[in-house]
Each structure stands twice: as structure tokens, then as C-alpha cells.
Structure 1
């Protein structure tokens, strides 16, 4: 559906050329939701604007539905863009137009007749839950309602792809959840492929099938969501994951808890999250599990549980217990020396 092949984008600055995106490859299959996460300046906004060629890559190729859009003449490119909707952090609504007109005006400019404009505007306002706000103006809406209007406007062109440029970063947590629920519904009910960028790990957690982590213009790690949450390898990924679950214990905290010896993180995925494996460990081996922290992360396609423990017992018994946990499908990571 979306293929970015060796995409790079350079900008000229006072200090010379700056490579905002550096040799990035992305492949989004039809009907999936992929997320690009990174801190400010990572290059993610530039990358997503390369998809619909609002920014033309310095190097590389973009394919949409098997068609190389980077080689299309402008008229054909405009036609291809009609199948790509986009929503923004700042909503970009016309302040002097009603909710209805914010959706209708772009359709009129595309040449749709009055009946089709009305049909689409009403249909997609109903999908986003704003049928009763047709005559309202943007300044009469909450931030979440404004974003729903922006989503309805993007959907009214009936795209096959929806791009989301930090669409929830200006919203409070409760409103963010409602917008993410809406995007999941759109993906499921309308079959629209979604590529989003964000700096919020909870967005990735809730709706993404596949994740790309960006830093300094590069994709430093990518994987399906469950694998990324259970076996992150890059420090930036681990830092992001720490925003939703405590992955490391500081030496100060370990000292306050009077912990001596190895501290271990156990990661449970799928069926293992419901098994009483720690209870079984204490019965099978001469060890006592001391739970230091624990949490469960609910992803779009599964559940990941994390427990940080200190196993009290003789070294050979501790090692045997950890080996048993690994053989039972639990991820085992020694945290000794981490902070």
C-alpha cells in the first residue's frame, strides 16, 4: 500500500545542508496501522510529508498502491493525492465556515455536485459523531470536536490512506483516547490504511500494528508492536517505553528496598500473562520472589506484562528458576547495574 524506498530529504541552512530524513525504508500493508515515533527533530514530520509529496524527497522513491508517485507528472500526482487524506495537530479548519462547510468546501473545489457534497458531509459527520454540530463554528467546539471535524473532512474525499501528523498531541488524555478509538473504528469499518507520527508512546500502544522509531533522521528500530514492547534493542526505544512502564530501578530505589543481588525483569506475552508462573516457581524451587514493580500493557493485538523481581535464594536455585521461566515462554532480563 505505502512503500518508502531509501527516502532522504535535505534542507539548506546557514550552516550548510541538513539531512532531516536519512535513507528510510517503510512498508505499510493495506488495512494496517503503522506508527512512527520520535522526539522533536527526529525527522518524522518531514518523513510523513514525503508520503504525499508535500515534501519531495531529495533521494529515494515513494510507491502508493504499486505506483511510483515520485515519478508522476503533476496532474497525475494530484489525482493520486485524492486517495490520501491527512489530519494535522492544528486542525486547519476555516474559522469563518460552519462545520458542514468545512467539509463541503473542499468537495466543491474538487468538482462534486451539490447532492454528493451533502451526502458525503452528512455521512462522515455521522461517523465521527458530530451530526448535531453541522451549523456550529470552530470556535464553538472543543479541541476533540475540532479534530473530529478535521477527520471527517479527510474522510469525505474517501481516501484509501490516512496520514496523521501528531493529531492527538494538542489534546488531553481522555480526548486523545476517544480520537484513537475513532481511528481504530475508521481502520476497521472503512478499511483505511493509517500511517501516523507521534511522540507519545500511549498512541503507539493503543492502535499500531507496526512501529518505527526515529532518531536524527534515521529509523533506529522497527518491529511489530508486540515485539517492540517486549524486546526493545535501541536506547531510544527503551526510553520511550519507560514513559508508560518503569523499566529500570535506580540504585537509590534498590537501596531503599534493601535489595541485594540480581534484579530481573520478566516479560509475559499472550497466554503466559494469565499463568501463575511465579507461584509455581516458589513451589518448584527453593526461592522466594520479591516483586518490586509490575504492570500490564494492553496493545492493539495483545497483552504484555512486566514484572521486576528480586529472587531470594541460593544462586543455583535462582538460575534454575529463571531457566524454568524462560522455558515457559517468559522473557528474562537481568537489570543488575542498570539505572
Structure 2
């Protein structure tokens, strides 16, 4: 559906060259929700804007539906952009136009017939839940309602792809949840491929199928959301995942626990979450397991359980217990400090 091959983007700032993207390759499949996460300055916004050529890459190729969009002329690019809707953090609504007009005016400028404009505007305002606010002005709307208008405006062009540039970062948690539910609905019911960028881990958790992690203009890791959360490989990925979903231990307690046994983080996926592994471990080995902390991360289609466990006993018994846990398809990571 979308493929970026060896894309680089350099900006000239005074006498300096700033490399926003460095040899980035990524592929988004038709019908999926693909997320890119990274800290500010990682290059996320530049990357997503290369998909519809709001930013033209310095090097590399960009394909949409197997079409090399960098080879398109002005007319071809305009036609392509009708397939690609985009929503932004700042909504970009016309302050002097009401909700209905904000959705309808871009269609009018595109030359869509009048009766089709009415049908589409009403249809997509209903989908985003704002039919009863069609005559309200942006100043009369909440942040979440403004973003829903922006989503309706993007959908009214009936795109195949929806790009989301930090669309929830200015919203409170409850409103963010409602917008994410709306994006899931758009993806499932309309079959629209969604490519989003964010610095919010919960956005990736809630709705994405796959994710790429960006750092300093490069993609450092890509995979399914489950794999990235359960088995992060790169330092940046671990910093994101474990910075928000692992457990903080007071230094003195950590020192005491490490001195009296082994501290392990256990990750449970699928069937492994249903088995009483710790109870079996205590019976089978001369080891005393103590749960220090625990939690569950809810992903789009699956839950991941995490337990921080202290194992007390003789070293050989602890090692045997760890092997048993791994045999039970539990991901075991030793905590050293």
C-alpha cells in the first residue's frame, strides 16, 4: 500500500544541513493501522509528510499503490492526494465557517457536485458523531469535537489512506480514548489504511497493528505491537516500553532484593497467562517466589501481563526454576539494577 525506500531528507538551515531523515525504509500494508513512535525531533513528522509530498525527499523513493509518486506531474499528484486524507494536532479548521461548511468547502473547491457534497458531508458528520453540531462554529466546540470535524473533513474526500500527525497529543486522556475508538471504527468499517505518528505509547498500544520506533532520523526497530512490547531489542525501544510499562523500585529495596536472591521480570502472553506457573514453581523447586509488582498492558487485540518476582533459594534451584519458566513460554528477564 505505502512503501518508502531509502528515504532521506535534508533541510538547509543557514549554513548548516540538518538531516531529518536518514535512509529510512518502511512498508505499510493495506488495511492496517501502522504507527511510528519517537521523541520530539526524531523525524516522525517529516516522515509522514513525505507520504503525500508535503515534504519532498532529498533521496529515495515513495510508492503508494505501487506508483512512484516522486515521478508524478502536478496533475497526477493532485489526483493522488485525493486518496490520502490527513489530520493534524492543530485541527486546521476555518474559524469563520461552521462544522458543516468546514467539511463541505474543501469538496466544493475540488469540484464535487453539490448534491454529492451534501450527501458526503452529512454521512461523515454522522460517522464522527457530530450530526447535531453541524451549525456550530469551532469556537463552540471542545478539542475532541474539533478533531472529529477534522476527521470528517479528511474522510469526506473518501481516501484510501488516512495520515495522522500527532492527532491526539493536545487532548486529555478521556478525549484521546474516544478519538482512538473513532479511528478504530474508521479502519474497521471503512477499510481505510491508517498511518500515524505519535510520542504517546498508549496510542500505539490501543489501536496499532505494527509499529516502527524512530530515533535521530532513523528507524531503529519495526515489528508487531505485541513483539515490540514483549521482546524489545533496541535500547530506544526498551526505553519507550519499559519507561512506561515496567516497575519502579526504591533503590534500597532493590539492593536488598538483589542481595537475597534473583529478581526477574516475567512477561505473560496468550496461553502462558492462564497457567499457575508460580504456584507450580514453588511446589517443584526449593525456591520461594514473591511478587513485588504487577500489571497488565492492553493492546489492540491482546493483553500482556507483567510480574516483577523475587526468587529466593539456592543458586542452582533458582536457575532450574528460571529454566522451567522459560519452558512454560514465559519471557524471563533478569533485573540487575
Between 12-21 and 322-331, the greater mean CA deviation after superposition: 12-21
CA contact (8 A) 1:202 1:244 kept: no
CA contact (8 A) 1:241 1:247 kept: no
Tell me: CA distance 1:167–1:253, structure 2 relative to 1, closer, same or farther (3 Å).
farther
For residue 184 of structure 2, what is the aligned residue in structure 1?
Answer: 184
CA contact (8 A) 2:61 2:68 kept: yes
- Give secondary structure in 2 for the equivalent of 1:39: coil
Deviation at 1:241, TM superposition (A): 1.3
Q: Deviations over 1:215-254 (max 9, x none)?
A: 1001011111000000112222112113431256453341
For residue 216 of structure 1, what is the aligned residue in structure 2?
Answer: 216
Instruction: Give me the whole-angstrom Cα distance separating, in 2, the residues matched to 1:234 and 1:136.
Output: 48
- Give secondary structure in 2 for the equivalent of 1:40: coil
For residue 18 of structure 1, what is the aligned residue in structure 2?
Answer: 18
Deviation at 1:272, TM superposition (A): 1.1
Tell me: CA distance 1:18–1:75, structure 2 relative to 1, closer, same or farther (3 Å).
same
For residue 313 of structure 1, what is the aligned residue in structure 2?
Answer: 313
Tell me: CA distance 1:322–1:258, structure 2 relative to 1, closer, same or farther (3 Å).
closer
- Give secondary structure in 2 for the equivalent of 1:75: helix
Instruction: Give me the whole-angstrom Cα distance separating, in 2, the residues matched to 1:214 and 1:15.
Output: 26
| Matched ranges for 1:271-290 at <5 A | 271-290=271-290
Instruction: Give me the whole-angstrom Cα distance separating, in 2, the residues matched to 1:253 and 1:245.
Output: 19
For residue 230 of structure 1, what is the aligned residue in structure 2?
Answer: 230
For residue 92 of structure 2, what is the aligned residue in structure 1?
Answer: 92
Deviation at 1:315, TM superposition (A): 1.2
Q: Deviations over 1:122-176 (max 9, x none)?
A: 0000000001000000000000000000000000000000000000000000000
- Give secondary structure in 1 for the equivalent of 2:115: helix
- Give secondary structure in 1 for the equivalent of 2:244: coil
Deviation at 1:187, TM superposition (A): 0.4
CA contact (8 A) 1:37 1:198 kept: yes
Instruction: Give me the whole-angstrom Cα distance separating, in 2, the residues matched to 1:291 and 1:14.
Output: 56
Tell me: CA distance 1:248–1:74, structure 2 relative to 1, closer, same or farther (3 Å).
same
| Matched ranges for 1:240-251 at <5 A | 240-247=240-247, 249=249, 251=251
- Give secondary structure in 2 for the equivalent of 1:139: helix
Tell me: CA distance 1:259–1:152, structure 2 relative to 1, closer, same or farther (3 Å).
farther
Instruction: Give me the whole-angstrom Cα distance separating, in 1, the residues matched to 2:139 and 2:102.
Output: 13
For residue 297 of structure 2, what is the aligned residue in structure 1?
Answer: 297
- Give secondary structure in 2 for the equivalent of 1:244: helix
Instruction: Give me the whole-angstrom Cα distance separating, in 2, the residues matched to 1:65 and 1:250.
Output: 52
Please, what TM-score do these two structures have when normalized by structure 2? Answer: 0.97
Instruction: Give me the whole-angstrom Cα distance separating, in 1, the residues matched to 2:89 and 2:253.
Output: 38
For residue 75 of structure 1, what is the aligned residue in structure 2?
Answer: 75
Instruction: Give me the whole-angstrom Cα distance separating, in 1, the residues matched to 2:285 and 2:124.
Output: 60
Tell me: CA distance 1:45–1:288, structure 2 relative to 1, closer, same or farther (3 Å).
same
Question: Gaps (5+ residues) in structure 2?
Answer: none
- Give secondary structure in 2 for the equivalent of 1:242: helix
Instruction: Give me the whole-angstrom Cα distance separating, in 1, the residues matched to 2:75 and 2:289.
Output: 66
For residue 203 of structure 2, what is the aligned residue in structure 1?
Answer: 203
For residue 128 of structure 1, what is the aligned residue in structure 2?
Answer: 128
**Structure 2 residue 324 is the aligned partner of structure 1 residue 327:** no
Q: Deviations over 1:254-307 (max 9, x none)?
A: 147686332111111111112211111111111111111111111112111111
**CA-atom RMSD, angstroms?**
1.3
Instruction: Give me the whole-angstrom Cα distance separating, in 2, the residues matched to 1:208 and 1:3.
Output: 18
Please, what TM-score do these two structures have when normalized by structure 1? Answer: 0.97
Question: Gaps (5+ residues) in structure 1?
Answer: none
